[in-house]
């Protein structure tokens, strides 16, 4: 069969899977239900059915949803809401497919660091393919998050560090990478730049969460006394505080709501971290309360300082020029 005829046959076979835009919302709702069904069956029968069975039905569902997402017509430069739902559902199903595939290959443990590294890397590549091919900003965010988790899993797999200290430095490096990538996308593809800024906020929130977990659940027993763990270094606290303020400022400048929400969450985490620190002398206004009070006073003083009216322009008394004659 000639190549042209084969392409026509393939298109005709796949045409029933092309969603009609005016029914896109209904299709998206059905896809969400389908993806939920697949994950429910996977969780409920994880120990009952074999990995091959799980891989079979998950792969069929993933191929079905992915085909609809790829075949859905682009009506502009940006995908419509229902198309973004298709892309996200395809990524969610792909996670299950790759996880089951790793079990079929004989992985010792689906949650081992080595397995997580290549599974998350594959998910990141798949999501970024949608981000580039279909201009999907939400897939840029998913790809960045999966890629960041893959890096963390690789560090755990290769070096097996103890505690959260190494993970925090890795997350800080990821924040720098995501930040520079967001700057590069801001003028060309703003939505993708915002997604990368969201990834920066989530990485900072993960750092804050590691400190909250360490402060809330780790104690040191000395004799008969229970002492809290050492306090958080002020540099990490400054980082979380600066990221929170920076995300809110970014949201105000570019009028994007997502970074503002993450900025507020980072400020809440900063408040929790500084509140969990217990000093021998009890609560005190020294430290961050004093710094924040001085910063607020300085900024408000600048913003509310009295102003003097600007002098009139030098040509205010100059008469208006006569109108031009009609020709």
Q: Long-range contacts for 293-300 (Cβ within 8 Å, ≥24 apart)?
A: none
Residue 10 lies in a domain: no
| φ, ψ (nearest 5 deg) of residue 220 | -115, 130
Claim to verify: residue 174 and residue 150 sit in the same structural domain:
no
The beta-strand segments (E) located in 69-180 are none
- The CA-based angle 175-260-144, given to 5 degrees, is 35
Claim to verify: residue 224 and residue 281 sit in the same structural domain:
yes
2 to each of 11, 12, 67, how far by Cα in Å? Answer: 14, 16, 24
Quote the CA–CA distance of 8 and 177 in Å, as a whole number.
44
pLDDT at 319: 74
Residue 117 lies in a domain: yes
Claim to verify: residue 173 and residue 128 sit in the same structural domain:
no
Secondary structure (3-state) at 221:
strand
Residue 59 lies in a domain: yes
pLDDT at 326: 63
DSSP 8-state code for residue 35 = H
Domain boundary among 104, 138, 160: 160
pLDDT digit string (tens) for the chain, length 327 residues: 565 566 555 556 777 888 999 999 999 999 999 999 999 999 999 989 999 999 999 999 999 999 999 999 999 889 999 999 999 999 999 999 999 999 998 875 555 888 999 999 999 999 999 999 999 999 999 999 999 999 999 999 999 898 899 999 999 999 999 999 999 888 888 999 999 999 999 999 999 999 988 876 655 444 555 555 567 889 999 999 999 999 999 999 988 889 999 999 999 999 999 887 655 456 778 888 999 999 999 989 998 888 777 777 777 677 777 777 665
> Is there a contact between 28 and 86 (Cβ–Cβ < 8 Å)?
yes
Crossing angle for the helix pair 24-44 and 51-71, nearest 10 degrees?
170
Claim to verify: residue 150 and residue 237 sit in the same structural domain:
no
Rounded to whole angstroms, the maximal C-alpha distance in the chain is 102
Torsion angle in degrees (nearest 10) through CA of 231, 235, 241, 245: 180
pLDDT at 222: 47
Claim to verify: residue 104 and residue 179 sit in the same structural domain:
no
pLDDT at 15: 77
Please give the model's pTM, rounded to 2 decimal places: 0.85
Residue 4 lies in a domain: no
Domain count along the chain? 2
- The CA-based angle 201-206-212, given to 5 degrees, is 125
- The CA-based angle 11-12-16, given to 5 degrees, is 100
Domain boundary among 124, 141, 160: 160
Nearest to 148 by CA among 199, 194, 110: 199
Claim to verify: residue 37 and residue 147 sit in the same structural domain:
yes
Residue 56 lies in a domain: yes
Claim to verify: residue 179 and residue 225 sit in the same structural domain:
yes
Residue 326 lies in a domain: no
Residue 313 lies in a domain: no
Claim to verify: residue 137 and residue 81 sit in the same structural domain:
yes
Domain boundary among 141, 160, 179: 160
Domain that holds residue 129: 16-160
Nearest to 63 by CA among 96, 40, 39: 96
pLDDT at 225: 56
Claim to verify: residue 139 and residue 263 sit in the same structural domain:
no
Claim to verify: residue 93 and residue 150 sit in the same structural domain:
yes
Quote the CA–CA distance of 239 and 236 in Å, as a whole number.
5
Nearest to 77 by CA among 218, 188, 154, 213: 188
> Is there a contact between 245 and 238 (Cβ–Cβ < 8 Å)?
no
Claim to verify: residue 209 and residue 288 sit in the same structural domain:
yes
Residue 327 lies in a domain: no
Assigned token pair, 213: 């977990």
Claim to verify: residue 155 and residue 189 sit in the same structural domain:
no
Torsion angle in degrees (nearest 10) through CA of 164, 165, 171, 172: 150
């Amino acid at each position: 069969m000639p190549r042209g005829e084969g392409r026509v046959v393939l298109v005709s076979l796949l045409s029933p899977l092309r969603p009609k835009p005016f029914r896109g919302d209904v299709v998206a709702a059905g896809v969400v239900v389908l993806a939920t069904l697949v994950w429910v069956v996977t969780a409920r029968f994880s120990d009952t059915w074999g990995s091959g069975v799980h891989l079979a039905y998950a792969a069929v569902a993933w191929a079905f949803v992915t085909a609809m997402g790829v075949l859905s017509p682009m009506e502009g430069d940006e995908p419509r809401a229902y198309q973004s739902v298709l892309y996200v559902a395809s990524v969610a199903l792909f996670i299950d497919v790759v996880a089951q595939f790793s079990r079929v290959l004989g992985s010792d443990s689906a949650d081992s660091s080595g397995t997580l590294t290549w599974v998350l890397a594959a998910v990141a590549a798949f999501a970024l393919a949608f981000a580039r091919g279909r201009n999907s900003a939400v897939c840029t965010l998913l790809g960045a998050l999966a890629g960041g988790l893959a890096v963390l899993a690789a560090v755990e797999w290769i070096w097996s560090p103890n505690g959260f200290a190494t993970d925090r430095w890795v997350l800080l490096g990821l924040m720098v990478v995501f930040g520079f990538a967001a700057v590069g996308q801001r003028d060309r593809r703003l939505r993708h730049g915002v997604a990368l800024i969201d990834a920066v906020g989530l990485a900072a929130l993960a750092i804050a969460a590691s400190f909250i977990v360490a402060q809330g659940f780790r104690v040191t027993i000395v004799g008969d006394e229970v002492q809290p763990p050492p306090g958080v270094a002020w540099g990490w606290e400054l980082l979380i505080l600066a990221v929170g303020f920076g995300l809110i400022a970014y949201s105000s400048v570019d009028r994007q709501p997502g970074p503002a929400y993450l900025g507020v969450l980072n400020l809440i985490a900063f408040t929790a971290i500084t509140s969990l620190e217990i000093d021998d002398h009890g609560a005190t206004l020294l430290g961050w309360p004093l710094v924040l009070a001085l910063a607020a006073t300085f900024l408000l003083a600048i913003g509310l300082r009295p102003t003097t009216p600007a002098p009139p322009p030098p040509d205010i008394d100059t008469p208006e020029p006569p109108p031009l004659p009609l020709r």
